[in-house]
Structure 1
């Protein structure tokens, strides 16, 4: 009788432990800095993860106990707000945490990131893939900042990054097409004086203010020389579009 009682108690304990473990795997704590939490991305992205996986996510601040974290350490998964955001699993034994890390790096999670928009703008994008840069074409600007500045300002008309093909104006050449020109660096370095950019672009300490009688026809673009250096560094890192051989004269 005692043996049966002990056996039943053990099975009940094992069953409860298994249920507790399963419950732990269905709820995770995600460490996110306040600036990222306040961006709205988490409110847009996390319900999609929970709907697909049935894993609930509780946001916690850095320094609090967490199963997974978005920040500077780990594997890069997206860029935005002038920095690269990486995913790091802090509790490898938690299946829910591992599922979230896999999901955010997979096509479904990446689509949720690029699908998030604020006032029609896409504040976050996929990480820039490392591209081989020709020797002698080195630019010391901040490449990630250049990508963000390009998407924010130039993305009104140009496609500036892979995945943004639905944005921009169809008749305007993409950055990839412009990168294929031999003098692409000159074009980007002085674009603010070339038509039509000069009518709505100002560079701090370089260009004159718009005349009162001829204000900018659209919301003006205001940049610094550091911004232009960053754009050059970014464009130098992207792969030129294959536009084919030049047309031969007839």
Structure 2
């Protein structure tokens, strides 16, 4: 019966025209304070298109990080798993955490105190299909509006970018282009002037941004990622070696 309900829920979630609500993830204070959840969740959202909102550990949620035997990762002195009630999106999040790219994402994070997170190797890895399901037309418009003051986006602004910044076509040619775009807000100089709703922390009032802030939503970033996924990579000749 439960399996049938899960199937019916999946069909209902896929109905055209339905505005899908974000999946709530309850995050224990120790994980939230470490910065791990803020680092992890946006990467999954932008890779898969499944929306997640982080809430406190005592708040109602469709899934939550818990300590226990069925661990997916280790961090801040605990082994952590994901508890949920069978929502297909929660199962996809769990599959992503077990996947190669999910494990690499977990292990690429280090807490401010220097402690690393370690993925628990599963018995079998579930492949996770990547999806760039944002609005590409909106992504082009947003790229020009938000990023075009520094980067060459396409022919329409090829004379307006800054010489020291790579064009979108050059960035698209890098093997890790998708992660670079999905995490651009963590890469200098972006943290000093970028605000992504429900992702980045507000600026310290005593340290205002040096330039007009770049403000966007996760949906905006998904649209930009979808647009960039369809760009032709620049021909850079021999393979690049990046640091």
TM-score bracket for this pair, using the shorter chain length: 0.3 to 0.5
**TM-score, length of structure 2 as denominator length:** 0.45
Q: Relative contact order, CA 8 A, sep 6+: which one is greater?
A: 2
